[in-house]
Amino acid sequence: MAETTRVPARQNPTSIEDEKDTEEEIAGQPMSFLEHLDELRRRLIKIILSVLIMMMLSFAFSNEILKFLLYPPVLLPGLKPPIQMMKPVITQVQGLMMVKIQVGLIAGIVFSLPVILFQLWRFISPGLRKKERRYAIPVILFATFFFMLGALFSYIVVIPITLNFLLSMGSIDPELGIVVENMIDLDAYLGFVSGFMLISGITFELPVLSYFLTKIGILSSSFLRKYWRHAVIGSLFISAIVTPTTDMITLFVVAVPIIVLYEVSIWVSASVARKKKKASL
């Protein structure tokens, strides 16, 4: 009697796409610690080259960039252009050259942000599934967009308000001629403005961060909704520090976008959770 070959039943059957993903993941050999270091080195070299190239290009337009930073638009009533309230100065012989190099470096990093995010993604992508790697381009685009949006919001709203408050403190007694002139070092001014724009840009990454944390199961929309009141109070507190004025309208102008971002993060988290639940069915 001929023997029949029994094919073992496949456990937990999955879709054809999942089988292909599993085969690709099995085929990929795990890298050693030294191989990880070599991969990180190659990614960092590409990031540094990108920043250097954009830095050299930005240095050629350093005067235009400095003009852009020194003349933020004044959109709110009652505010003055900051350049009318101060006199930028340089206190060292090589100071202006160092400022232009600093401007080029900051602009080089900002303009290289898509490359930086892409290289970081390529470094961590081997540890992700094929489906998760498909989100690379959308995540990079959204992260870049929200960072630029946050920096622009700081440049248009937060910086003019803050500078008007700080630079107006020198009018001690104008009738007696007791007025402290604002002789601001250009290097210090650049660090002040770029620091505000950087913090605001990072803050605006909250929806992207919410997407990632929900995707890996650390965050949920119910958790965000539970602490919504705390987030509102925190937004008002941060706004009070960033805009130390007694004007409540100014306070809410800064706080409302942060609260809106928190609401957007809740929506993003809920959307990701629904998709994960639907995919598991």
Spans of all domains in the chain: 33-204, 206-281
Averaged over successive runs of 10 residues, the pLDDT of the chain (281 residues) comes to: 45 44 47 78 92 92 87 76 84 86 88 87 74 71 86 85 78 67 86 83 86 80 88 82 63 80 89 81 68
pLDDT number for residue 249: 64
Q: What is the pLDDT at residue 182?
A: 82
In this predicted structure, what is the pLDDT of residue 215?
A: 78
pLDDT tens, position by position, 232-248: 888 888 777 766 555 67
User: Rounded distance, CA 271 to CA 273, Å?
Assistant: 5
Selection from 83, 49, 58, 78 nearest residue 186 by Cα: 83
pLDDT at site 30: 66
Summarize pLDDT for 221-235 with one digit per residue, the tens. Answer: 888 888 888 888 888
The rounded distance, in Å, linking the Cα atoms of 134 and 68 is 37
Q: What is the C-alpha separation between 133 and 49, in angstroms, rounded?
A: 25
Strand partners, 89: 185
Predicted confidence at residue 56, as pLDDT, reads 92
